[in-house]
Protein backbone atom coordinates (compact mmCIF):
# COMPACT_ATOMS: atom_id res chain seq x y z
CA UNK A 1 0.00 0.00 0.00
CA UNK A 2 1.36 3.42 -0.97
CA UNK A 3 1.34 6.32 1.49
CA UNK A 4 0.77 9.96 0.56
CA UNK A 5 1.36 13.17 2.54
CA UNK A 6 -1.92 15.03 2.94
CA UNK A 7 -2.95 18.46 4.17
CA UNK A 8 -6.54 18.58 5.43
CA UNK A 9 -8.20 21.99 5.88
CA UNK A 10 -11.75 21.64 7.26
CA UNK A 11 -12.97 25.23 7.04
CA UNK A 12 -16.51 26.28 7.93
CA UNK A 13 -17.19 27.61 4.44
CA UNK A 14 -14.76 25.63 2.28
CA UNK A 15 -12.85 22.42 2.93
CA UNK A 16 -9.73 21.63 1.01
CA UNK A 17 -7.07 18.99 0.58
CA UNK A 18 -3.55 18.95 -0.83
CA UNK A 19 -1.33 15.97 -1.62
CA UNK A 20 1.61 15.03 -3.83
CA UNK A 21 1.26 12.49 -6.64
CA UNK A 22 4.34 11.48 -8.62
CA UNK A 23 6.14 14.61 -7.51
CA UNK A 24 3.28 16.94 -8.48
CA UNK A 25 1.26 18.89 -5.93
CA UNK A 26 -2.49 18.59 -6.47
CA UNK A 27 -5.31 20.27 -4.58
CA UNK A 28 -9.08 20.51 -4.44
CA UNK A 29 -11.60 22.46 -2.38
CA UNK A 30 -15.39 22.19 -2.17
CA UNK A 31 -18.03 23.95 -0.07
CA UNK A 32 -18.37 22.63 3.47
CA UNK A 33 -21.83 21.18 3.05
CA UNK A 34 -23.25 17.73 3.79
CA UNK A 35 -26.76 16.38 3.32
CA UNK A 36 -28.37 12.95 3.47
CA UNK A 37 -28.53 11.68 -0.08
CA UNK A 38 -31.45 9.93 -1.73
CA UNK A 39 -29.47 8.23 -4.50
CA UNK A 40 -32.54 6.73 -6.18
CA UNK A 41 -34.25 10.11 -6.39
CA UNK A 42 -31.08 11.69 -7.77
CA UNK A 43 -30.79 9.00 -10.43
CA UNK A 44 -34.44 9.59 -11.39
CA UNK A 45 -33.64 13.29 -11.83
CA UNK A 46 -30.65 12.49 -14.01
CA UNK A 47 -27.99 13.30 -11.40
CA UNK A 48 -25.07 10.95 -12.04
CA UNK A 49 -23.52 10.32 -8.64
CA UNK A 50 -20.62 8.30 -10.06
CA UNK A 51 -19.04 11.29 -11.80
CA UNK A 52 -15.85 12.84 -10.43
CA UNK A 53 -17.41 16.29 -9.99
CA UNK A 54 -20.50 14.98 -8.20
CA UNK A 55 -19.59 14.02 -4.68
CA UNK A 56 -21.35 11.41 -2.56
CA UNK A 57 -19.89 9.10 0.08
CA UNK A 58 -21.12 6.04 1.96
CA UNK A 59 -19.13 3.94 4.40
CA UNK A 60 -19.12 0.15 4.17
CA UNK A 61 -21.75 -1.30 6.50
CA UNK A 62 -23.87 1.86 6.44
CA UNK A 63 -27.07 2.27 4.45
CA UNK A 64 -27.07 6.07 4.49
CA UNK A 65 -25.11 8.02 1.88
CA UNK A 66 -24.23 11.72 2.06
CA UNK A 67 -23.94 14.25 -0.72
CA UNK A 68 -20.99 16.59 -0.29
CA UNK A 69 -20.16 20.12 -1.44
CA UNK A 70 -22.05 21.64 -4.35
CA UNK A 71 -24.26 18.58 -4.72
CA UNK A 72 -25.44 18.95 -1.12
CA UNK A 73 -26.24 22.63 -1.71
CA UNK A 74 -28.15 21.79 -4.90
CA UNK A 75 -30.15 18.89 -3.50
CA UNK A 76 -31.03 20.04 0.01
CA UNK A 77 -32.29 23.20 1.70
CA UNK A 78 -30.89 22.18 5.08
CA UNK A 79 -27.22 21.16 5.00
CA UNK A 80 -24.67 20.46 7.71
CA UNK A 81 -21.75 22.91 7.75
CA UNK A 82 -20.72 22.75 11.41
CA UNK A 83 -20.61 26.49 11.98
CA UNK A 84 -20.34 27.33 15.64
CA UNK A 85 -19.56 23.72 16.54
CA UNK A 86 -15.94 23.42 17.70
CA UNK A 87 -16.25 19.63 17.84
CA UNK A 88 -16.87 19.49 14.08
CA UNK A 89 -13.10 19.20 13.56
CA UNK A 90 -13.26 15.80 15.28
CA UNK A 91 -16.51 14.70 13.67
CA UNK A 92 -17.60 12.11 11.14
CA UNK A 93 -18.24 15.02 8.79
CA UNK A 94 -14.57 15.99 8.83
CA UNK A 95 -13.72 12.38 7.97
CA UNK A 96 -16.28 12.35 5.14
CA UNK A 97 -14.85 15.56 3.73
CA UNK A 98 -11.26 14.33 3.95
CA UNK A 99 -12.04 11.02 2.24
CA UNK A 100 -14.21 12.61 -0.45
CA UNK A 101 -11.51 15.06 -1.50
CA UNK A 102 -8.57 12.68 -1.09
CA UNK A 103 -10.27 9.99 -3.18
CA UNK A 104 -11.01 12.59 -5.87
CA UNK A 105 -7.31 13.45 -6.06
CA UNK A 106 -5.75 9.98 -5.64
CA UNK A 107 -6.87 7.23 -8.07
CA UNK A 108 -5.54 4.22 -6.10
CA UNK A 109 -8.24 1.83 -4.85
CA UNK A 110 -6.22 1.41 -1.62
CA UNK A 111 -3.76 3.88 -0.11
CA UNK A 112 -2.57 5.50 3.10
CA UNK A 113 -2.66 9.15 4.15
CA UNK A 114 -0.15 10.75 6.51
CA UNK A 115 -2.25 13.73 7.56
CA UNK A 116 -1.51 17.13 9.01
CA UNK A 117 -4.47 19.37 9.78
CA UNK A 118 -5.06 22.61 11.64
CA UNK A 119 -7.25 24.43 14.15
CA UNK A 120 -7.98 28.15 14.52
CA UNK A 121 -5.42 29.71 16.86
CA UNK A 122 -7.75 30.38 19.80
CA UNK A 123 -9.36 26.95 19.52
CA UNK A 124 -5.93 25.31 19.37
CA UNK A 125 -4.76 27.15 22.48
CA UNK A 126 -7.88 26.65 24.58
CA UNK A 127 -8.85 23.09 23.60
CA UNK A 128 -5.91 20.75 24.06
CA UNK A 129 -8.17 17.69 24.20
CA UNK A 130 -9.64 18.50 20.78
CA UNK A 131 -6.32 17.70 19.11
CA UNK A 132 -6.46 14.18 20.54
CA UNK A 133 -10.12 13.89 19.57
CA UNK A 134 -9.27 14.78 15.96
CA UNK A 135 -6.75 11.97 15.81
CA UNK A 136 -9.24 9.54 17.31
CA UNK A 137 -11.93 10.56 14.81
CA UNK A 138 -9.78 10.36 11.68
CA UNK A 139 -7.24 7.60 12.36
CA UNK A 140 -7.80 4.07 11.10
CA UNK A 141 -8.79 2.08 8.05
CA UNK A 142 -11.91 3.32 6.25
CA UNK A 143 -13.78 1.45 3.51
CA UNK A 144 -16.23 3.53 1.50
CA UNK A 145 -17.80 4.17 -1.89
CA UNK A 146 -18.17 7.41 -3.84
CA UNK A 147 -20.05 5.89 -6.79
CA UNK A 148 -23.04 4.29 -5.06
CA UNK A 149 -21.40 0.93 -4.49
CA UNK A 150 -19.98 0.28 -7.97
CA UNK A 151 -16.52 0.26 -6.43
CA UNK A 152 -15.28 0.23 -2.86
CA UNK A 153 -12.09 1.92 -1.76
CA UNK A 154 -9.90 1.53 1.31
CA UNK A 155 -7.95 4.38 2.90
CA UNK A 156 -5.82 4.14 6.04
CA UNK A 157 -5.39 7.48 7.81
CA UNK A 158 -2.70 8.37 10.29
CA UNK A 159 -2.87 11.89 11.74
CA UNK A 160 0.76 12.95 12.12
CA UNK A 161 0.04 16.19 13.98
CA UNK A 162 -2.41 19.06 14.44
CA UNK A 163 -1.06 22.61 14.15
CA UNK A 164 -2.45 26.15 14.32
CA UNK A 165 -4.07 27.49 11.17
CA UNK A 166 -1.68 30.08 9.79
CA UNK A 167 1.34 27.92 10.56
CA UNK A 168 0.61 26.05 7.34
CA UNK A 169 0.75 29.21 5.26
CA UNK A 170 4.08 30.23 6.79
CA UNK A 171 5.51 26.77 6.09
CA UNK A 172 4.44 27.10 2.46
CA UNK A 173 5.11 30.78 1.82
CA UNK A 174 7.08 32.22 4.76
CA UNK A 175 10.58 33.64 4.58
CA UNK A 176 12.87 30.60 4.83
CA UNK A 177 15.82 32.83 5.75
CA UNK A 178 14.04 34.52 8.68
CA UNK A 179 15.79 34.38 12.04
CA UNK A 180 14.41 32.86 15.23
CA UNK A 181 13.58 36.37 16.49
CA UNK A 182 11.72 37.47 13.36
CA UNK A 183 7.95 37.75 13.79
CA UNK A 184 5.87 36.61 10.83
CA UNK A 185 2.11 37.03 10.55
CA UNK A 186 -0.88 35.62 8.72
CA UNK A 187 -4.34 37.12 8.20
CA UNK A 188 -6.67 34.28 7.24
CA UNK A 189 -10.07 35.49 6.04
CA UNK A 190 -12.61 32.83 5.19
CA UNK A 191 -16.32 32.64 4.66
CA UNK A 192 -17.30 33.40 8.24
CA UNK A 193 -14.16 34.12 10.24
CA UNK A 194 -10.94 36.13 10.28
CA UNK A 195 -8.10 34.41 12.12
CA UNK A 196 -4.79 36.05 13.00
CA UNK A 197 -1.57 34.10 13.51
CA UNK A 198 1.85 35.42 14.54
CA UNK A 199 4.97 33.33 15.09
CA UNK A 200 8.44 34.27 16.31
CA UNK A 201 10.63 31.95 14.31
CA UNK A 202 8.45 28.85 14.40
CA UNK A 203 6.96 29.49 17.84
CA UNK A 204 3.42 31.00 17.94
CA UNK A 205 2.97 34.23 19.90
CA UNK A 206 -0.30 33.42 21.67
CA UNK A 207 -1.33 36.99 22.54
CA UNK A 208 -1.38 37.90 18.83
CA UNK A 209 -3.27 34.78 17.71
CA UNK A 210 -6.98 35.64 17.76
CA UNK A 211 -10.12 35.14 15.73
CA UNK A 212 -13.35 37.01 15.03
CA UNK A 213 -16.57 36.13 13.16
CA UNK A 214 -15.94 38.40 10.16
CA UNK A 215 -15.67 37.14 6.61
CA UNK A 216 -17.09 36.98 3.10
CA UNK A 217 -20.48 35.82 4.34
CA UNK A 218 -20.64 38.84 6.66
CA UNK A 219 -20.39 41.08 3.61
CA UNK A 220 -22.83 38.87 1.72
CA UNK A 221 -25.44 39.25 4.46
CA UNK A 222 -24.84 43.01 4.52
CA UNK A 223 -25.47 43.07 0.76
CA UNK A 224 -28.72 41.16 1.24
CA UNK A 225 -29.91 43.53 3.96
CA UNK A 226 -28.98 46.68 2.03
CA UNK A 227 -30.68 45.45 -1.14
CA UNK A 228 -33.89 44.59 0.71
CA UNK A 229 -33.95 47.95 2.51
CA UNK A 230 -33.56 49.80 -0.77
CA UNK A 231 -35.74 47.75 -3.10
CA UNK A 232 -38.19 46.11 -0.65
CA UNK A 233 -37.38 42.82 -2.32
CA UNK A 234 -35.13 40.21 -0.69
CA UNK A 235 -32.21 38.69 -2.53
CA UNK A 236 -31.95 34.94 -2.42
CA UNK A 237 -28.71 33.55 -1.02
CA UNK A 238 -27.88 32.20 -4.48
CA UNK A 239 -28.38 35.64 -6.06
CA UNK A 240 -26.28 37.30 -3.38
CA UNK A 241 -23.47 34.77 -3.85
CA UNK A 242 -23.50 35.30 -7.61
CA UNK A 243 -23.22 39.07 -7.09
CA UNK A 244 -20.32 38.66 -4.68
CA UNK A 245 -18.63 36.18 -6.98
CA UNK A 246 -18.91 38.58 -9.92
CA UNK A 247 -17.51 41.40 -7.77
CA UNK A 248 -14.49 39.32 -6.78
CA UNK A 249 -13.78 38.14 -10.33
CA UNK A 250 -12.58 41.55 -11.59
CA UNK A 251 -14.72 41.42 -14.70
CA UNK A 252 -14.20 37.76 -15.52
CA UNK A 253 -17.80 36.92 -14.61
CA UNK A 254 -20.95 38.88 -15.29
CA UNK A 255 -23.37 40.04 -12.63
CA UNK A 256 -26.61 38.02 -12.53
CA UNK A 257 -29.84 39.33 -13.99
CA UNK A 258 -31.75 40.80 -11.04
CA UNK A 259 -35.08 42.53 -11.41
CA UNK A 260 -37.46 44.27 -9.03
CA UNK A 261 -41.12 44.35 -10.07
CA UNK A 262 -40.10 43.74 -13.65
CA UNK A 263 -37.37 46.42 -13.74
CA UNK A 264 -33.75 45.28 -14.07
CA UNK A 265 -31.18 46.35 -11.51
CA UNK A 266 -28.08 47.28 -13.50
CA UNK A 267 -24.66 45.72 -13.02
CA UNK A 268 -23.16 49.07 -11.96
CA UNK A 269 -25.66 49.30 -9.10
CA UNK A 270 -24.99 45.71 -8.04
CA UNK A 271 -21.26 46.40 -8.14
CA UNK A 272 -21.72 49.51 -6.00
CA UNK A 273 -23.75 47.64 -3.38
CA UNK A 274 -21.23 44.80 -3.24
CA UNK A 275 -18.32 47.22 -2.96
CA UNK A 276 -20.01 49.10 -0.12
CA UNK A 277 -20.52 45.86 1.82
CA UNK A 278 -16.95 44.66 1.20
CA UNK A 279 -15.43 48.01 2.20
CA UNK A 280 -17.48 48.13 5.41
CA UNK A 281 -16.51 44.63 6.50
CA UNK A 282 -12.94 45.22 5.33
CA UNK A 283 -12.64 48.27 7.59
CA UNK A 284 -13.91 46.19 10.53
CA UNK A 285 -11.28 43.54 9.78
CA UNK A 286 -8.52 46.18 9.69
CA UNK A 287 -9.70 47.55 13.04
CA UNK A 288 -9.68 44.04 14.50
CA UNK A 289 -6.13 43.46 13.25
CA UNK A 290 -4.91 46.77 14.68
CA UNK A 291 -6.56 46.07 18.04
CA UNK A 292 -5.17 42.53 18.43
CA UNK A 293 -1.69 43.49 17.26
CA UNK A 294 -1.76 46.63 19.44
CA UNK A 295 -0.77 48.96 16.65
CA UNK A 296 -3.28 51.78 16.52
CA UNK A 297 -1.04 54.15 14.55
CA UNK A 298 -2.52 54.29 11.06
CA UNK A 299 0.89 53.94 9.44
CA UNK A 300 2.20 51.26 11.77
CA UNK A 301 -0.29 48.40 11.55
CA UNK A 302 1.74 45.16 11.42
CA UNK A 303 4.89 47.12 10.51
CA UNK A 304 7.04 44.95 12.76
CA UNK A 305 5.83 41.67 11.25
CA UNK A 306 7.54 40.42 8.10
CA UNK A 307 6.12 38.90 6.09
CA UNK A 308 2.41 39.51 6.61
CA UNK A 309 0.50 37.02 4.47
CA UNK A 310 -3.13 37.42 3.46
CA UNK A 311 -4.74 34.05 2.79
CA UNK A 312 -8.15 32.38 2.50
CA UNK A 313 -11.02 33.00 0.09
CA UNK A 314 -11.45 36.47 1.59
CA UNK A 315 -8.28 37.59 -0.21
CA UNK A 316 -10.33 38.10 -3.37
CA UNK A 317 -12.56 40.58 -1.53
CA UNK A 318 -10.58 42.30 1.21
CA UNK A 319 -6.95 42.32 0.06
CA UNK A 320 -7.18 45.82 -1.41
CA UNK A 321 -8.68 47.27 1.78
CA UNK A 322 -6.04 45.59 3.95
CA UNK A 323 -3.20 46.60 1.64
CA UNK A 324 -4.06 50.27 2.15
CA UNK A 325 -3.31 49.90 5.88
CA UNK A 326 -0.56 47.29 5.62
CA UNK A 327 1.58 48.26 2.60
CA UNK A 328 3.94 45.28 2.94
CA UNK A 329 1.01 42.81 2.97
CA UNK A 330 1.46 40.04 0.41
CA UNK A 331 -0.74 37.31 -1.00
CA UNK A 332 0.42 33.87 -2.18
CA UNK A 333 -0.34 32.41 -5.59
CA UNK A 334 -2.93 30.05 -4.11
CA UNK A 335 -4.45 31.80 -1.09
CA UNK A 336 -7.32 29.32 -0.74
CA UNK A 337 -5.02 26.33 -0.27
CA UNK A 338 -2.19 28.18 1.51
CA UNK A 339 -2.67 26.43 4.85
CA UNK A 340 -3.30 23.02 3.30
CA UNK A 341 -0.16 23.37 1.17
CA UNK A 342 1.89 23.95 4.31
CA UNK A 343 0.16 21.09 6.10
CA UNK A 344 1.02 18.80 3.18
CA UNK A 345 4.65 19.98 3.18
CA UNK A 346 4.94 19.21 6.88
CA UNK A 347 3.16 15.87 6.39
CA UNK A 348 5.70 15.05 3.69
CA UNK A 349 8.63 15.76 6.01
CA UNK A 350 7.10 13.61 8.75
CA UNK A 351 6.32 10.83 6.28
CA UNK A 352 9.95 10.78 5.11
CA UNK A 353 11.03 10.26 8.72
CA UNK A 354 8.53 7.43 9.03
CA UNK A 355 9.79 5.82 5.82
CA UNK A 356 13.40 6.07 6.97
CA UNK A 357 12.52 4.61 10.36
CA UNK A 358 10.13 1.85 9.32
CA UNK A 359 10.59 1.30 5.59
CA UNK A 360 7.02 2.32 4.76
CA UNK A 361 6.28 2.62 1.02
CA UNK A 362 5.62 6.24 -0.03
Task: Note whether 19 and 90 are same-domain residues.
Answer: yes
**Which residue, 203, 10, 221, is CA-closest to 123?**
10
299 and 344 belong to one structural domain: no
CATH number reported for the structural domain that contains residue 269 in this entry: 3.30.420.40
Region of poorest pLDDT, from 61-65, 131-135, 285-289, 295-299:
295-299
Same domain, yes or no: 127 and 56: yes
Confidence check: pLDDT of 299 > 60: no
Judgement on whether residues 188 and 91 belong to the same structural domain of the protein: no
The pLDDT of residue 175 is 75
Q: Please, is 184 exposed, middle or buried when counting C-beta atoms within 10 Å of its C-beta (0-12, 13-18, 19+)?
A: buried
How many structural domains compose the chain? Answer: 2
For residue 83, what pLDDT is reported? Answer: 76
Query: Residue 286 above 90 pLDDT?
Result: yes
| 20 and 129 share one domain | yes
pLDDT grade, residue 361 (50/70/90)? Answer: low
How far from chain centre, in Å, is Cα 295? 28
Q: Tell me the C-alpha distance between 151 and 174, whole Å.
A: 41
Same domain, 44 and 145: yes
β pairing state of 14-21 and 258-260:
unpaired
Partners of 207 in the beta sheet?
Answer: none
Position 309 scores a pLDDT of 96
Residue of 217, 120, 114, 132 lying closest to 163 (CA atoms): 120
Question: In 149-301, at which residue ranges do the beta strands (DSSP E only) sit?
Answer: 153-164, 183-189, 194-200, 203-204, 211-212, 258-260, 263-265
Range of the domain at 266: 176-331
> Mean pLDDT in the chain?
90
Structure confidence at residue 357 (pLDDT): 81
Specify the pTM. 0.89
Q: Are residues 227 and 126 in the same domain?
A: no
φ/ψ (deg, to 5) at 209: -100, 100
pLDDT digits (tens, 9 = 90+) for 128-179: 999 999 999 999 999 999 988 899 999 999 999 999 999 999 999 987 766 6
Question: Is 238 in the same domain as 314?
Answer: yes
90 alpha carbon, distance to own chain's centre: 16
Q: What is the largest CA-CA distance in the chain?
A: 70
Cα 193 from Cα 102, distance rounded (Å):
25
Peptide bond into 322 cis (omega under 30): no
- Banded pLDDT at 4 (limits 50, 70, 90): very high
For the segment 239-251, the average pLDDT, to the nearest whole number, is: 91
What pLDDT does residue 355 have?
Answer: 86
**In 10 A of CB 359, how many CB atoms?**
7
Contact between 80 and 34 under an 8 Å Cβ cutoff? The reply is: yes
Q: Is the domain of 145 the same as that of 27? A: yes
Q: What is the mean pLDDT of residues 187-191?
A: 93
Amino acid sequence: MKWYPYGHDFGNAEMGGVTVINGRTVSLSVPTAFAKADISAMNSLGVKVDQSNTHTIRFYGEELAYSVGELALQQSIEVYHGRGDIQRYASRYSLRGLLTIASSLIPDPEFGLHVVTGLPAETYIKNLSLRNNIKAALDGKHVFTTDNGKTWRSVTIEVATVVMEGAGALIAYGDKSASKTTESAVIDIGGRTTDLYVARGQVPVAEYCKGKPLGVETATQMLIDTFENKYERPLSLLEAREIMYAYASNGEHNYPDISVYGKAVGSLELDRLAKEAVNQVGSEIVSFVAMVWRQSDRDAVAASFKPVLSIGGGVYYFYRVLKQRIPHLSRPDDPIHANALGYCTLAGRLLIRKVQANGVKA
